[in-house]
Structure 1
Amino acid sequence: MIRPPSIGLSRFPTVLLAVIASTFFVGFGGGVVFPILPNLGAVLGISAFMVGVILSANRWVRLVANAPAGALVDRYGTRKPFVLGLLIEGIATLGYVVAIALPPAESLRSALAGLPAGSIGPVAVGPTEWFAVLEFVVAPEAWFLLARVLWGIGSAAVFATAYTIAADVSDSGSRGTNMGVVRGGITMGFPAGLVLGGVVSSLAGNVAAFVVAAAFALLASVVAHRLVPETHVTTAGEKQSVKPWDVDTSTPAVTVGLVNFGLMFAYIGALFATLVLFLGETDISLLGLDPQGTSGLFMAGTVVSAAVFMFAGGRVSDSRESRTPILLGFLVVSFVGFLLLARAGSTLELGVACVAIGAGQGGTSGPMMALLADLTPDDRMGRASGTNNVLGDVGGGLGPMVSLPLVETVGFTPVYAACAAVPLAAGIALLVGVRRETGTFVPGRDAGESARGEAASTEA
């Protein structure tokens, strides 16, 4: 792969700023649904399990979309998949508007009651049959699910390309910082969506919140189309598979992916999916807002904390010989945050827990992706990012489906306490994988380049 020689590393390259802006705007659509849907489920007649399925559907879709997205990046470059992925996410956000604006089933039944019976070929069709068809078509859960499916397809392309762009314009001395900045840009749109979903829905209604999020999500693709150039030039005529199961199974990719699995299971899959319900049970409130508005603010706080420490963690890892110690330190911070959450009984205690959880999540992200790029050849970085996203999405997808039914059965405290053990397990997986790949628990930032150089010399 050819790195663009004109991009300086003494400051953030313009392309990274464009990627940050695009992913920030589209992130509104990812966050807006979380404060609204859990409470809305009871109004719309959607079960807790179905709400969990909807919230995690995008991640299950990415299980089969991440690997093709990464392979397409390595084969065709970053620009087209990035712009197209953002556009798909914008269209998906419009699906929320349709889901909430459709008429209720009772109105349809009344409207169809006077229709005459007829037939389609040998099949008799009357009001009952028409209603059965239309009831499925206008079911809000069907539209929410479709929107999350589309979101999963688009975000697979966006994630694979964004990280690859950051790797393309970085070296070992700037990779952690650049990865942290890009990850922060991807993440910061999410809290904006959480606040929008919680506060705007409380003040102006759910439809207004979804409409604003959709407008910003569509704007993201326009920004990317105008400002993001191609950075990933591959060898002419190179052929690579785009099969869903063609993931990078190298030790670095699987190791980083397992860490991502654990963090996403606890953070997005458990905390975000259950926080609005936790607030309703404990009567914790901010600024007089209801649980939807309050959960949006608390979740936004965790993500703002994560974004700050993404940059800080990545920058610190660039100034150290090894990235492993900083990764382990932030995994311990995440562990402490979930312990605090398990015993939180006031606004202050919950706020401290959310900040700590966000710091642990964010502080690992920049160094973790930088470590992956350190140990991965340039021409496999797209697929390695896909592997990382696949395992992260398994964790994020399992989280709501497991945590929502569990909190109804055993309560919030045992679930949150169990989540505290997840970052510790991730730390063990990190140490084992790094030791197996490099022969040491604390490899230098140039370990991957050195290993590849030795391999090339041996082959020669």
Structure 2
Amino acid sequence: MYGSNGNEARSSSARAEAVVDVKRQRAVVLAVILSTFFVGFGGGVVFPILPNLGAVLGISPFLVGVILSTNRFVRVVANAPAGSLVDRIGTRSPFIAGLFIEGVATLGYILAMRSTLPEAWFLLARVLWGVGSALVFATAYTIAADVSTGESRGTNMGVVRGGMTLGFPAGLVLGGVVSELFSIPIAFALAAAFALFASVLAYATIPETHVSDSKTAVKPWEIETGTPTMTVGLVNFGLYFAYLGALFSTLVLFLAANGFAVLGYGPQASSGVLMAVTVIAAAGFMFGGGVLSDRLGMRVPILLGFLAVSFVGFLLLTVADSVVGLVAACVLIGTGQGGTSGPLIALLADLTPDERIGRAMGTNNVLGDIGGGLGPMISLPLVESVGFTPVYTACALVPLLAGGVLLYGVYVQTGSVSPRTSIDG
């Protein structure tokens, strides 16, 4: 009888600990979502404003593309050290510091508007934003991985990625609508206030989650070059090139060239609304894609399905001749982009040892940012020389190529084109 009661007591204690763990996991994930949501305003606010400011401020289309891409090129350099830093000192301090740096960078947009050298201030602000976001991205994903199991990783990665993304469409709307109704400096000031609030919120709520016995051996320049990281990173490269790189930097010009108007707004506000629609669809399916991959117990089939949706969305964009067609194309593109995000990052965490997750996330972000950075620099000059249709057609092929890379890399690593989520790297 004593043994039975002892077993029951231990069972009850284990259940209680499991409930506490689940509650802790949810609380940490929610804290990350809220912090990154508020700071995301500053990431989206420039896209509906800056392309049209080129003519007003005397900035060439190429330089506008460079400004929009600068944060991503900075992250190309900063992502790997950020990931190594996470594996070395943990997640809490770099996460808070990154959010604060992004808030300061957003203030730089206001200085740019009042300066005689706006391009220099915009470039400096985007450099700072790149450093801050490198820290935020590496830590946010690592925190989610640290508090997850194989059965919940896809869901948690999708939720965190969705929360991080939702701040971006809020910034798009803020930048487009507030700048037209009030002024551009007011739009930038609101984004800066929310970003600085995010750092305060993180300081109050985010615990340390990443403790490794090998952290003293991690060097700042160390990156992860294993097959899982390079496979996921190359897929990320292609998707960011087509989506955040090419589409977001050219949409306002596409609307102006074709005379499309959403809700009666001009090109800036219309592009902000459409990009927000795209990102909202993406954010919703980031959660859905992660949940589906957890329930199925496999990531690859879900990834291939959403890559196909992205392909269809870009094809529809090439023939859209009305606002309804544009909205449909943006929803499909966002759905495809978002649906891949949760399972893709979860797949990387599935196949990577715990002590190297920070570096894997950092390296994955490097490749994504190279794609996102090259997108505006290549697409903006191309749409002026060859038009929008060839550029968007090329973007439609990117998800198909990404699917091929995914299947090859996963097979090389696991011996299967669709491994179960229980497989470890």
Give the C-alpha shift of residue 238 in structure 1. 2.4
Matched, 1:242 2:220: yes
Alpha-carbon RMSD:
1.3
Matched, 1:182 2:160: yes
Q: Which residue of 1 aligns with 2:351?
A: 375
Q: Which residue of 1 aligns with 2:328?
A: 352
Taking structure 1 as the reference length, the TM-score comes to: 0.87
Q: CA–CA distance in 1 between the matches of 2:423 and 2:24?
A: 24
Q: Which residue of 1 aligns with 2:5?
A: none
Matched, 1:265 2:265: no
The structure with more helix, counted as a fraction of residues: 2
Summarize the alignment of residues 398-437 of structure 1 with structure 2, pairs less than 5 Å apart: 398-437=374-413
Tell me if the contact between 1:7 and 1:169 (Cα under 8 Å) persists in the aligned partners. no
Q: Which residue of 1 aligns with 2:362?
A: 386
1:259-315 alpha-carbon deviations (Å, 9 max, x no partner): 100000000000000000000011111111110000000000000000000000000
Give the C-alpha shift of residue 140 in structure 1. 0.1
Q: Which residue of 1 aligns with 2:145?
A: 167
Q: CA–CA distance in 1 between the matches of 2:57 and 2:170?
A: 25
Structure 2 letter corresponding to 1:188 = L
Structure 1 letter corresponding to 2:30 = L
Q: CA–CA distance in 2 between the matches of 1:193 and 1:301?
A: 12
Q: Which residue of 1 aligns with 2:12?
A: none
Matched, 1:99 2:75: no
Give the C-alpha shift of residue 101 in structure 1. 2.1
Structure 1 letter corresponding to 2:70 = A
Q: Which residue of 2 aligns with 1:83?
A: 96
Taking structure 2 as the reference length, the TM-score comes to: 0.95
Q: CA–CA distance in 2 between the matches of 1:239 and 1:186?
A: 31
Give the C-alpha shift of residue 5 in structure 1. 8.0
- Greater displacement, 402-411 / 230-239: 230-239
Structure 2 letter corresponding to 1:217 = A
Pair 1:364–1:237, CA change in 2 (3 A): closer
Q: Secondary structure at the match of 1:413?
A: helix
Q: Which residue of 2 aligns with 1:211?
A: 189
Aligned residues: 409
Pair 1:385–1:21, CA change in 2 (3 A): same
Matched, 1:22 2:26: no
Q: CA–CA distance in 1 between the matches of 2:39 and 2:19?
A: 28
Q: CA–CA distance in 1 between the matches of 2:23 and 2:340?
A: 23
**Structure 2 unaligned runs (5+)?**
1-16
Q: Secondary structure at the match of 1:8?
A: helix
1:17-71 alpha-carbon deviations (Å, 9 max, x no partner): 0100010000000000000000001000000000000000000000110000000
Q: Which residue of 1 aligns with 2:11?
A: none
- Structure 1 runs (4+) deviating above 6 angstroms are none
Q: Which residue of 1 aligns with 2:260?
A: 284
Matched, 1:226 2:195: no
- Report sequence identity in percent: 67
Q: CA–CA distance in 2 between the matches of 1:94 and 1:56?
A: 18
Pair 1:175–1:308, CA change in 2 (3 A): same
Summarize the alignment of residues 148-159 of structure 1 with structure 2, pairs less than 5 Å apart: 148-159=126-137
Q: Secondary structure at the match of 2:217?
A: coil
Structure 1 letter corresponding to 2:375 = G
**Structure 1 unaligned runs (5+)?**
103-137, 453-460
Q: CA–CA distance in 1 between the matches of 2:167 and 2:220?
A: 29
Structure 2 letter corresponding to 1:191 = P
Structure 1 letter corresponding to 2:393 = A
Pair 1:343–1:12, CA change in 2 (3 A): farther
Give the C-alpha shift of residue 212 in structure 1. 0.5
Looking at CA atoms only, which structure, 1 or 2, has the larger radius of gyration?
A: 1
Structure 1 letter corresponding to 2:370 = V
Summarize the alignment of residues 118-157 of structure 1 with structure 2, pairs less than 5 Å apart: 138-157=116-135
Give the C-alpha shift of residue 10 in structure 1. 7.2
Q: CA–CA distance in 2 between the matches of 1:389 and 1:190?
A: 17
Summarize the alignment of residues 45-56 of structure 1 with structure 2, pairs less than 5 Å apart: 45-56=58-69
Q: Which residue of 2 aligns with 1:43?
A: 56
Give the C-alpha shift of residue 11 in structure 1. 8.5
Q: Secondary structure at the match of 1:360?
A: helix
Structure 1 letter corresponding to 2:299 = R
Tell me if the contact between 1:303 and 1:358 (Cα under 8 Å) persists in the aligned partners. yes
Q: CA–CA distance in 1 between the matches of 2:355 and 2:285?
A: 29
